[in-house]
Chains A and B, each alone.
Chain A
Amino acid sequence: MLEQVSTRLGAALVVALGVCTLVFLLIHLVPGDPVEAMLGESAQPADRAALRASLGLDRPLAEQYRRYLSGLLRLDLGRSFQDQRPVSEILGERLPATLKLATAALLLALLLAVPLGVFAARRRGSPVDAGAMAFSLIGVSMPNFWLGPLLILVFSLWLGWTPVSGSDDPASLVLPAVTLGTALAAILARMVRASVLEVLGEDYIRTARAKGLSEPAVLWRHALRNAWLPVLTLIGMQLGGLLGGAVITETVFAWPGVGSLLVEAIQARDFPVVQGCVLLISLVYVLVNTLTDLAYAGVDPRVALR
């Protein structure tokens, strides 16, 4: 077990290093000169030289990479080009809002998807099932940059129930969480349904029924416990979509998280902040996925970690 855990952690570290390398290379993909892209064409040569030096772009690539990695170990992600503040400090201010939004969206998706998927599986072929599957298909196909404005139109502008944007009022979390969580709920509902259907065909379910257990006991205690496993894997895989979707959702609702920071930084051509945002969100994703894998092995002892 310990060996498996350390192997999994080792693999995660290799991936994390690869992520850091790719993010480091991002700034070198800027067409032409990144310094000119940041300062504009009319900048003074002295200003350009100063910025080039402060970004370390005047050094050989290998040395830039070494400096970048050693900076990362000290949580030094460089400084924002706009206000000279350390990128890590800015990210620290923005991360809690993103985590709050992503957690709310995940909880909402689970609260919606699990009952929906279970009922759809129980009443297979019924109108409930058809409705759940229609919801799933529409939810997956509904772009969040459209759902968000629609929700604002109906619930904020027409009904006046929730604030249009911002994050001060607790009610302001509702619409962004619904916007971000709907697609995940749609995918999960489908998976829960398929998983429960498969489990309900197993012999031990027949045994549980035969020994006279009530249907809810069979369903919630016996079936769902085993149906959980594929769903758990899927949640880990879909968290990337959730974190990526947060960029658009945060922008729609002016939610002050890392996602809206990324879009602001791109518009300002503030490349150190762009790199920092991508790095942070991706590393959070790697971390959560690693933890999901370990949890999976914890839930099901038969699972061997690769």
Chain B
Amino acid sequence: MQRRLVRLLPFAVIGLWALTALLGPLLATAPDRIDLPRILATPSPGLPLGADDLGRPVLDRLLVGSRTSFVVGIGVVALSALVGSLIGAAAGFAGGWADLMIVRLIDVFLAFPGILLAIALAGILGPGLGNVIVALSVVGWVGYARLARAQVLSLKTRDHVGAARALGVQPPRLLLRHLLPLALAPLIVEATFGIAAAVIAEAGLSFLGLGVQPPTASWGSMIRDGVAYMLVAPHLVLAPGLAVMLVVLAVNLLGDRLRDRLDVRGAPG
């Protein structure tokens, strides 16, 4: 019974996250309504998570924030996994000069502490949801590229690839139909951990004021705004932080489980 609960927990948290992200804007009735008499109100039956420094309801902002983190988490992983896998697989498949150049490029990108480059990029591009996704994808694609390249390198000498080639299958089709499907398992595991990393990174950028523009809520900017009132209204920092942690924890648990299930060795990057 207890085991089963633990096993279901990540799915419950991720499901709730996706649901609030999709329905949040409908549920959150007044995320941006300033209500001065309620400033820093503590949680009460009518106001389950209290109100922030402008009297805005924390629960409503939390719901809107879940959409921000969901869009960034999914968007970054979709973009960087697609671009990275294609580049890496093409490099491993082509070999020679093209491969060498791409390996060098991957090495250079890996030489930057990821979040550092994302902070600099987001700072230079300016705040906004689109720029956050771009900045995190520019940093994120290398992991997928490296994995896809290694997979294709080890797979391309397999018999079925040689057979397909002998039958006259063209390289792009060979890559997409005969190689990438076999390389998917580690990429799926990487992508799962990638969602967790993107959620933390988005909240981190927003914490630094480099994420979405106010008044749109992000869990990261909610934490930043709440820090100043921590002593009198700790719920302003506790609620969004707990949300980030639960989502990241759930996604990481899912990633662990997928890794075991798909029998992928090695730690995520």
A contact set with B: CB distance below 8 Å? 11, 14-16, 18-19, 21-22, 26-27, 29-31, 137-138, 140-146, 149-150, 152-153, 157, 187, 191, 234, 237, 239-245, 247-248, 251-252, 262-263, 266-267, 271, 274, 277-278, 281-282, 285-286, 289
A11 to B200, CA, bound (A): 32
With A247-B116, A263-B208 already in contact, the answer to whether A286 and B111 are too (CB < 8 A) is yes
A248 to B116, CA, bound (A): 9
A243 to B200, CA, bound (A): 16
B230 near A149: Cβ-Cβ < 8 Å? yes
Set of chain B residues within 8 Å of A267, measured between Cβ atoms: 209
B111 near A18: Cβ-Cβ < 8 Å? yes
Interchain residue pairs with CB less than 8 A apart (14): A15-B104, A22-B108, A140-B252, A143-B241, A143-B245, A143-B248, A149-B237, A150-B237, A234-B267, A239-B113, A263-B123, A274-B120, A274-B123, A282-B116
B119 within 8 A of A: yes
Q: Which residue of A lies closest to B250 (CB)?
A: A141
A191 to B105, CA, bound (A): 28
Q: A22-B112, A143-B248, A285-B112 are in contact. List 6 more A-B contacts (CB 8 A).
A: A15-B108, A149-B223, A149-B230, A157-B231, A191-B267, A282-B116
Set of chain A residues within 8 Å of B224, measured between Cβ atoms: 145
Set of chain B residues within 8 Å of A143, measured between Cβ atoms: 200, 203-204, 241, 244-245, 248
What 0/1 pattern do residues 102 to 138 of B give for CB contact below 8 A with A?
A: 0011011101111111011101111000000000000
B189 within 8 A of A: no
B253 within 8 A of A: yes
Minimum CB–CB distance from A259 to chain B (whole Å) comes to 8
Set of chain B residues within 8 Å of A244, measured between Cβ atoms: 113-116, 119
With A241-B115, A285-B112 already in contact, the answer to whether A29 and B244 are too (CB < 8 A) is no
Which of B112, B237, B245, B249 lies in contact with A240, CB distance below 8 A?
Answer: B112
B249 near A241: Cβ-Cβ < 8 Å? no
B210 near A266: Cβ-Cβ < 8 Å? yes
A29 near B121: Cβ-Cβ < 8 Å? yes
A248 near B208: Cβ-Cβ < 8 Å? yes
B contact set with A: CB distance below 8 Å? 104-105, 107-109, 111-117, 119-121, 123-126, 196, 200, 203-204, 207-210, 220, 223-224, 226-227, 230-231, 234, 237, 241, 244-245, 248-249, 252-253, 267, 269
Q: Which residue of B lies closest to A267 (CB)?
A: B209
Q: Which residue of A lies closest to B203 (CB)?
A: A143
Top 3 A-B residue pairs of the complex, sorted by shortest distance between their CB atoms: A18-B108, A266-B123, A244-B113
Number of A-B contacts defined by CB within 8 Å? 143
A281 near B249: Cβ-Cβ < 8 Å? no
Max chain B Cβ within 10 angstroms of own Cβ: one of A22, A137, A146, A242? A146
A240 near B113: Cβ-Cβ < 8 Å? yes
A241 near B114: Cβ-Cβ < 8 Å? yes
With A138-B249, A141-B249, A241-B115 already in contact, the answer to whether A150 and B241 are too (CB < 8 A) is yes
A143 to B116, CA, bound (A): 15
B119 near A247: Cβ-Cβ < 8 Å? yes
Minimum CB–CB distance from B238 to chain A (whole Å) comes to 8
Q: Which residue of B lies closest to A243 (CB)?
A: B113
A19 near B111: Cβ-Cβ < 8 Å? yes
A252 to B241, CA, bound (A): 14
Minimum CB–CB distance from A258 to chain B (whole Å) comes to 10
A150 to B124, CA, bound (A): 30
Q: Which residue of B lies closest to A252 (CB)?
A: B227
